[in-house]
């Protein structure tokens, strides 16, 4: 997984790179000043041992939350997987 991380996930780190993301959103989707599209998803999992209700969500099943930020071309810029 770590081998492909830098090829698949590239988060802008300077002002110029963020401005390019904003420009591409404006040109492609006509949304000015957007720095990405953020969304989350509950990914169903089996209950981990000895966790009680820690991973039990409001939808009634055990899950981990996947949050992602993508650019105007749906390329991942940031990913977080958590409880």
**Per-residue pLDDT tens digits for 30-52:** 999 999 999 999 999 999 999 99
pLDDT (0 to 100) of residue 8? 81
Please tell me the distance from the alpha carbon of residue 72 to that of residue 37, in angstroms, as a whole number.
Answer: 8
pLDDT (0 to 100) of residue 80? 93
Backbone torsion region of residue 3, taken as left when φ is above 0, otherwise alpha when ψ lies between -120 and 50, otherwise beta = alpha
pLDDT over 60 at 65, yes or no:
yes
């Amino acid at each position: 997984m770590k081998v492909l991380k830098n090829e698949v996930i590239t988060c802008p780190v300077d002002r110029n790179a963020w401005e390019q993301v904003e420009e591409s959103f404006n040109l492609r989707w006509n949304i000015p000043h957007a720095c990405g599209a953020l969304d989350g998803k509950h990914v169903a999992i089996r209950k981990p041992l000895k966790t009680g209700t820690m991973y039990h969500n409001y939808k009634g099943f055990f899950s981990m939350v996947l949050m992602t930020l993508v650019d105007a071309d749906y390329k991942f810029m940031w990913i977080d997987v958590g409880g």
